[in-house]
Copies of this chain bind each other. A is one copy, B any other.
Amino acid sequence: MEIIKNVRTKSPLVHCMTNYVTVNDVANIILAIGASPIMSDEEKDVEDITSICNALCINIGTLNQRTIKSMFIAGKRANSLNHVVLLDPVGAGASKLRTETAVNLLKEVKFDVIRGNISEIKTLAGFSGSTKGVDADVADEVSEDNLDAVIEWLKKFARTAGAIVAVTGKIDLVTDGEKCYVIRNGKAEMKSITGTGCQLSGMMCAFLAANPENKLEAAAMAVCTMGLSGEIAKTHLAEYEGNATYSKRIIDAVYNMNDEILEKGANYEIR
């Protein structure tokens, strides 16, 4: 496997239109994996910026009317250049504006990947997703009990959407509609950190841009990298440390990640 080597060698430039809550961590995790981030959300700026990039990450976590407009402009330009484009529909289901924006983006922009929690993905799939904030509704959690059913349903949505769909939670699922990676990396404590999902979305763009022949595996390995980094970071945490230091150490672990460590630590099966 040379997925991470490809990221570090090709060093793709990722245009991030992401929320202002977690943007600094998104920038640092993209740098940690050996790629480069650039942020721009102004309608008169995004076409130029996305044109010099290799991938576009659209995250609606702190959307507003101005930036929504820019997301459509950037998405269409990225499509016309065949760049990797990812949607992170933060809070879809939590408000009418977020749901509508995500749904309309899916209609007007071609996405390579949609990455969210199960509640957001259910909303997009037209199911009744009751989203509590930015976390997956507990009742909707993917578990060993409902795994088979969720995989079938998710594959169907991926085929309908014509995109790779990545659902992250206790168990992570990544499917292109045919194969589904079932991933069991990560630590429960990662839920106490803001923005691990946003970071994963940004980093995943770099994985896909550097591995264009192999997008499904690249998306799955980005998920494994995040989870495994959470596992590694936890081993270095002192008792008096908590979520804030943990957050930085996870990015540190990504900084030190390579294909060998990933192959050894990735915990997944393909269904």
Contacts and interface: CB of A to CB of B under 8 A. Distances in A.
B52 A94 contact: yes
Given A24-B21, A61-B39, A132-B52, A243 B194 contact: no
Interface residues of A, number: 66
Interface string A242-269: 1111011111111110000000000000
Nearest to A66: B64
A63 interface: yes
A178 to B, nearest CB: 35
Copies held by the complex = 3
A134 interface: yes
A231 interface: no
A140 interface: no
Nearest to A45: B97
B21 A27 contact: yes
A252 B241 CA distance: 5
Interface in A25-46: 25, 27-28, 31-32, 36-42, 44-45
A216 interface: no
A195 B39 CA distance: 12
Nearest to A44: B97
A73 interface: no
Contacts of A241: 249, 252
Contacts of A19: 39
A21 B39 contact: yes
B193 A28 contact: yes
A45 B248 contact: no
Given A39-B21, A132-B36, A194 B244 contact: no
A46 to B, nearest CB: 9
B242 A252 contact: yes
A22 B40 CA distance: 13
Nearest to A239: B256
A96 interface: yes
Contact of A254 (B95, B133, B193, B242): B242
Contact of A98 (B22, B45, B53): B45
Closest 9 CB pairs of A and B: A242-B255, A48-B95, A242-B252, A244-B251, A27-B194, A244-B248, A42-B64, A38-B133, A20-B20
Interface of A: 13, 19-25, 27-28, 31-32, 36-42, 44-45, 48-49, 52-53, 61-66, 91, 94-98, 131-135, 192-195, 232, 236, 238-245, 247-256
9 contacts: A19-B39, A22-B24, A28-B243, A36-B135, A41-B64, A240-B249, A242-B253, A243-B252, A244-B251
